[in-house]
Amino acid sequence: MQNLPTPVLGEITALTITTTDLEQSLAFYQMLGFSELFRSNWPFPWIQISDGVLLIMLRKDEKPYMALTYYVKDINKVTAGLEQKGIQFEMKPGKTDPVKRYLMRSPDGLAISLVNVTEGFRQPPGPGMLQMDHKDYFNPEKYVNKTSGLYGELAHPVADLEKSLAFWKLLGFTALSTFTSPYPWAIISDGLSVVGLHQTDEFNYPAITFFAADMQAKIASLRKAGLKNIKEKDAANAVIITPEQQHIFLYSLGDNNGQAKPEIKTNMLETKRLWLIEVTPDVYHQLFTTRSEEEIMEFMGLNTSEEFRIEKEKYTGGMTTYRTSFKRFFLKVKDTGKVIGSTGFHNWYAMHMRAELGYALNDEASKNKGYMKEAVAAVIKYGFEQMGLNRIEAFVGPGNIPSILLVKGYGFTEEGRLREHFFKEGELEDAICFALLKSEYNL
């Protein structure tokens, strides 16, 4: 489950899709697990449908169109606030229009509309993917929509991810996760809508996206039920072209055989700006035996194949013995979802209640922002209070002034100098030994 922002644009969100034949479109979406909620001929013929998580407004019109729509109580206040931020509306309502409707577009052309009609409309109760426990992703019995699976995102292709993120931020969206593989992309939300921004040329249209651990079986069932225009990428992933010439992605949460990958269970510490994701020898084993190189690099925040090779050598070389072990925490920024480095303990002698503190930032843009200071404070507290440590050691190169200042800032005492303690970049280097005892800990 995610910590989600408070919506800015409105109280209810839906996808507006135009159709030349309302009944044909209704029948199609009913095959996908949707049900009719309301219908009316005012101010134009429309039918509102939902699968319990996603709300869709089917509107009769000759022109193919999809928009991310918000129903807003105080539309004048919301639109005025957006215009103060520099947002320009492509369309505004006239003074005599019975329904106030504003239309804007993202930098890549996605229509976003604000409408003042809310009476009788309700946000579906869900839960959606962002409100669910991750372990329930792999339990189809927990899905609200048993036919198509979990509604995940409105996938939106973009030309420039950073430019697009800046625009959506003005609308109250926050990046929940950002990725660099297989291309730059991000999952964003304002607490109501979920949009996937994909900097790719693999598709050039917005797409409604569903995920399921048993997607292979769901695709087979949809085909057996007579659903047309299913284009399978493989047995467990497909694209559906709707009667309105829109697109729906059906993606498996498991591997290419449609089998769910085992959940990697980790402990997490929380600070003001970070999630600290705990990695133990068991987690390393799960990662390197059940995940691809790309997935491991994303999980650990690795930037190069060389960094991946080093981590893999640690795993294959044996990461724990009968005497020592480790606990490592990856630093994940809450606002972006990006993993920027790690901290934790190695050379952990549980029987002697001592361990060595280590830390590293591998994201240049995140340096000098206090992230590591914030993370180390949480890890030291965890070491003394949860791991039963009495002594935490840190070995720092004499020339590493930032690290010396960091450990001294937490009350570590300099105990001496170890000659030629490190072999670093082809050179032997001394280390200054610092230590903090539990009796001295007062954070």
pLDDT digits (tens, 9 = 90+) for 67-126: 999 999 999 999 999 999 999 999 999 988 989 999 999 999 999 999 997 688 999 999
Asked whether 152 and 210 are in contact (CB, 8 A), the reply is: yes
Distant-in-sequence, close-in-space partners of 23: CB < 8 Å, separation ≥ 6: none
Asked whether 236 and 265 are in contact (CB, 8 A), the reply is: no
Peptide bond into 127 cis (omega under 30): yes
**Around Cβ 39, how many Cβ atoms within 10 Å?**
13
Distant-in-sequence, close-in-space partners of 177: CB < 8 Å, separation ≥ 6: 186, 187, 336, 337
Global pTM value: 0.62
Alpha helices for 85-159 (secondary structure H): none
The rounded percent of the chain whose pLDDT value lies above 70 is 94
Q: Checking DSSP bridges between strand 194-198 and strand 150-157, what pairing results, if any? A: parallel
Give the residue-averaged pLDDT of 162-186.
Answer: 88
- pLDDT single digits (tens) 10-62: 999 999 999 999 999 999 999 999 999 999 998 899 999 999 999 999 999 99
Asked whether 236 and 219 are in contact (CB, 8 A), the reply is: yes
Strands (E), 199-334: 207-212, 230-234, 237-241, 247-252, 268-270, 274-279, 325-333
**What pLDDT was estimated at residue 256?**
40
Domains, the chain, ordered by start: 1-255 (3.10.180.10), 268-440 (3.40.630.30)
Distant-in-sequence, close-in-space partners of 80: CB < 8 Å, separation ≥ 6: none
Lowest mean pLDDT among 211-220, 292-301, 316-325: 316-325
Report d(CA 174, CA 184) in Å as an integer.
16
Asked whether 149 and 212 are in contact (CB, 8 A), the reply is: yes
